[in-house]
Amino acid sequence: MALESHHKHHKLHFLLVPFLCPGHLIPMVDIARLLVNHGAFVTIVTTPLHATRINPLIDTVNASKLRIQVVQFEISVLEFGLPEGCESLELVPSRELIRNFMVALSKLQTPIEELIEKNKKKKEPTPISCILVDKFNYWMENVAMKFQIPRLIFDGTSCMNLVVLHNLFKSKVYENVQESNPIIVVPNLPHRIELTKSQLPLELNPEARDLRDFDEKIRTSQESAYGVVINSFEELELEYVKEYKKVKGNKVWCIGPVSLSCNNDVGQRGNKSKIGIDSCMKFLDSWPPNSVVYVCLGSLNNLALAQFQELALALESCNFPFIWVMKEDDSLKKWLQESGFEERTKERGLIIHGWAPQVLIFSHNAIGVFLTHCGWNSTLEAICGGVPMITWPMFADQFFNEKLVVQILGIGEKLGSEIAIPLGKQENYGASVKRERIVEAIEKVIGDGDGENKKKEERRESVGKLAELAKKSMELGGSSYLNMKILLEDMERLTFGKPYHSS
């Protein structure tokens, strides 16, 4: 893939401040690779735990004479009532402690300010000229203002999600929902998007009131940023890109899918996999094309035990080979062993506890369908792999991503999840999706039923075309490639052409 830019931005030095959670950190590291491919210098701020996760990927970049440095800062988690080593959102043991984690994370502000001060005095690399920060790190607004450095927000969701959210906040249609008619129609969109109050994202969901003050800080800090960097590509959601550019005065750059920046290093993205890549590929090699069900519900989702059992029994009864990636959880492992599930399915099932080389898995032609929570990274990675989806959204932007995948793009089958389940409250909801429905959805996407064949082929053909468009967007002259170039030229003009004034 041709990622080198003819125009080198040697003076630009980006400070990247990711949110500490795999789904936010990994795309930020991919963006770092893209930036250095275009000639910029990058400093990534993280903690010791995350540094061990990303260093192998950074090392492959730096070995090719490109320029990324990782700066590690400790977070005093014990001081905030968090268990030792709790440096990542998915490790926070209960919902009540998410607040503590967010406050602990904000304490990185002081060492980051000291880093910028120190960097100003050094000649090599050049002083930090731009901050790219995950939207959840709202406190970085203060840092950018203090040093008068342009701040770009990295939003790990789609333009569609951002337009829907903007229109919901602006219209307040969710405030007038009647019990007799619980449907909310989001106004002023290119498509008719309906949802219920219980499917609203965290910022608006009554079930997530306990963290509303953080949502408000995150939202207001975004308003003063110079612009927004999006992990998407224009051909995927062009109407929503146009709408969001109207909202943001054109300061929106779609530079994705950033996972395509990895080329041959996809196996090294994120944590070290619990299973060897070779054994994973060997398992896939033993099955025919489009026959394997790949199940992964994200690094943050904990299914209630009753729901976990329904999913397990569905995979067992559908008789298709499967790869199931699940979180490290002793109680779930115990059930898998004691119930005999692992033993009964060992010939056609591969269970991965923890991290899996997902991008690599999607590149294998044996994968027939992806059962997904509709997190944006996973959705994009499946599209890049040309893999149709079965959608099981749980919270945040996931219900909107489902609308994009099923309703607008026509590349997925909806499982029928109706209620957003806030992080850490899974046990309150039990088994809302039954095994029969899971089996039925799998059959519809990769089964042999005559009635579904035309729809199956259409889905696969549509997602295959999108995979091609995704690759082209990242290549020399593609839309995402050009957007990265325009972004860097804008930053160069802003930083070196005239003084930067924060809005």
pLDDT digits (tens, 9 = 90+) for 420-433: 776 666 666 667 78
Q: In b/e form, how buried is each residue of 444-471, taking b as 16+ CB within 10 angstroms?
A: bbbbeeeebeeebeebbebbbebbebbe
pLDDT digits (tens, 9 = 90+) for 116-160: 999 888 766 788 999 999 999 999 999 999 999 999 999 999 999
Domain ranges across the chain: 270-470
Check residue 428 and give its pLDDT. Answer: 63
Above pLDDT 70, what percent of the chain? 87
CA proximity to 315, closest of 369, 276, 274, 271: 369
Structure tokens that stand for 128 in this block: 């930090």
Structure tokens that stand for 488 in this block: 């860097």
Classified as helix, coil or strand, 99 is helix
Check residue 210 and give its pLDDT. Answer: 75
Least-confidence region, from 134-148, 195-209, 238-252, 388-402: 195-209
* Cα separations in angstroms, 233 against 46, 151, 157, 259, 312: 27, 22, 12, 12, 35
pLDDT digits (tens, 9 = 90+) for 445-455: 998 865 567 88
Q: Which strands make up the sheet holding 349-353, listed edge to edge?
A: 349-353, 322-326, 292-296, 367-372, 389-391, 412-414
Residue 375 has pLDDT above 90, yes or no: yes
Check residue 298 and give its pLDDT. Answer: 83
Q: Which CATH number fits domain 270-470: 3.40.50.2000, 3.40.120.10, 3.30.70.141, 3.40.50.300?
A: 3.40.50.2000
Please give the angle made by the CA atoms of 170, 399 and 313, to the nearest 5 degrees. Answer: 165
pLDDT digits (tens, 9 = 90+) for 162-188: 999 999 989 998 888 777 677 899 999
Distance between CA atoms of 357 and 360, rounded to whole angstroms? 6
* Cα separations in angstroms, 346 against 189, 281, 357: 47, 16, 20
Structure tokens that stand for 68 in this block: 């990324």
Task: Give the up-direction half-sphere exposure of residue 439: CA atoms within 13 A in the CB hemisphere.
Answer: 12
E strand spans, 4-135: 13-17, 41-46, 68-72, 130-134
Least-confidence region, from 63-67, 152-156, 158-162, 225-229: 63-67
Check residue 200 and give its pLDDT. Answer: 81
Distance between CA atoms of 400 and 240, rounded to whole angstroms? 12
With contact defined as beta carbons under 8 Å apart, do 47 and 87 qualify?
A: yes
Distance between CA atoms of 177 and 438, rounded to whole angstroms? 30
Tell me: cis bond preceding 393? Omega within 30 of 0 counts.
no
Q: Categorize the per-residue pLDDT at 275 as very low, low, confident or very high, splitting at 50, 70 and 90.
A: low
Distance between CA atoms of 321 and 346, rounded to whole angstroms? 10
With contact defined as beta carbons under 8 Å apart, do 23 and 16 qualify?
A: no
Q: Categorize the per-residue pLDDT at 61 as very low, low, confident or very high, splitting at 50, 70 and 90.
A: low
pLDDT digits (tens, 9 = 90+) for 9-20: 568 999 999 999
CA proximity to 378, closest of 409, 401, 396, 352: 401
More confident of the two residues 371 and 215: 371
Most confident of 293-297, 323-327, 431-435: 293-297
With contact defined as beta carbons under 8 Å apart, do 334 and 296 qualify?
A: no
pLDDT digits (tens, 9 = 90+) for 26-41: 999 999 999 998 999 9
Average confidence score pLDDT of the chain:
87
Q: Categorize the per-residue pLDDT at 353 as very low, low, confident or very high, splitting at 50, 70 and 90.
A: confident
More confident of the two residues 263 and 228: 228
The type of residue at 322 is F
Check residue 354 and give its pLDDT. Answer: 83
Residue 320 has pLDDT above 50, yes or no: yes
E strand spans, 204-288: 227-230, 252-254
What pTM was estimated for this model as a whole?
A: 0.91
The type of residue at 365 is N
Q: Categorize the per-residue pLDDT at 501 as very low, low, confident or very high, splitting at 50, 70 and 90.
A: very low
Distance between CA atoms of 127 and 118, rounded to whole angstroms? 9
Tokens 């990927």 -> residue: 57
Check residue 422 and give its pLDDT. Answer: 64
Distance between CA atoms of 396 and 148, rounded to whole angstroms? 32
Which residues is 132 bridged to in the sheet? 16, 152
Task: Please compute Rg for the chain using Cα positions.
Answer: 22
Above pLDDT 90, what percent of the chain? 61
Classified as helix, coil or strand, 113 is helix
